[in-house]
Amino acid sequence: MTILFRRAVMDEIERYLHTDDVIVLHGARQVGKTSILMYLQDRLAAQGQPMSYLDLEDSRLVAILDRGVEEFLRYLQEEGADLVAPQVSGGKLFVLIDEVQYLANPSSFMKRIADHHRYLKLIVSGSSSFEMKSKFRDSLVGRTVDFEIYPLSFREMLTFRGVPFAPGQTFTEKRTSELQALYVEYALYGGYPKIVLTPETDVKERYLQQIIDTYVRKDIRDLAEIRDITKFNRLLEALASQSGGSLNIAELSNTCGLARPSVERYLFLLEQTYVIRLVRPFSRNLRAEISKMPKVYLCDTGLMQMLWLKRLQREVVGPVFETSIYTELLKRYGSQQVGYWRTADRREIDFIVRQPAATLLIEAKLTFPHGIPATLRVRPEAAENGSSGAVEDYRIVGLYGHPGEERMVFPWQLYQ
CA angle 389, 395, 400 (to 5 degrees): 140
CB proximity list for 213: less than 8 A, separation 6 or greater: none
CA angle 301, 194, 16 (to 5 degrees): 90
Residue-level pLDDT, tens digit, the chain, 416 residues: 578 999 999 999 999 999 999 999 999 889 999 999 999 999 999 999 999 999 999 999 999 999 999 999 999 999 999 999 999 999 999 999 999 989 998 989 999 999 999 999 999 998 765 566 666 666 677 889 999 999 999 999 999 999 999 887 788 899 999 999 999 999 999 999 999 999 999 999 999 999 998 887 777 777 777 778 889 999 999 999 999 999 999 999 999 999 999 999 899 889 988 999 999 988 766 565 555 789 999 999 999 999 999 999 999 999 999 999 999 999 999 999 999 987 666 778 999 998 777 788 999 999 999 888 877 776 665 555 444 444 458 899 999 999 989 899 999 998 76
DSSP state of 371: S
Instruction: State how far the Cα of 173 lies from the Cα of 155, in Å rounded to an integer.
Output: 19
Instruction: State how far the Cα of 336 lies from the Cα of 319, in Å rounded to an integer.
Output: 21
Name all domains of the chain by residue range, CATH numbers in brackets.
10-149 (3.40.50.300), 155-413 (1.10.10.10)
| Nearest Cα to Cα of residue 383 among 260, 254, 293, 281 | 281
**Contact in structure between 190 and 160 (CB atoms under 8 Å):** no
Torsional sign, CA 194, 195, 199, 200: positive
Q: What DSSP string runs through 255-273? A: HHT--HHHHHHHHHHHHHT
150: left (phi over 0), alpha (psi -120 to 50) or beta: beta
DSSP reduced 3-state for 379: coil
**Can you give the pLDDT at residue 393?**
84
Please count the helices (runs of H) and the strands (runs of E) in the chain: 19, 12
Which helix (H) or strand (E) covers residue 93, if one does? strand 93-98
Q: What is the CA radius of gyration of the chain?
A: 23
| Nearest Cα to Cα of residue 321 among 377, 396, 379 | 396
Single-letter amino acid code for the residue at 356: P
Q: What DSSP string runs through 166-198? A: -TTPPPPHHHHHHHHHHHHHHHHH---HHHHT-
**Contact in structure between 307 and 212 (CB atoms under 8 Å):** yes
| Nearest Cα to Cα of residue 321 among 266, 401, 375 | 401
User: What's phi and psi for 275, nearest 5 deg?
Assistant: -90, -40
**Can you give the pLDDT at residue 221?**
74
Sequence-ordered alpha helix ranges (H) in 286-390: 286-291, 301-309, 318-333, 380-384
Instruction: State how far the Cα of 130 lies from the Cα of 148, in Å rounded to an integer.
Output: 13
Chain centroid to CA 46:
29
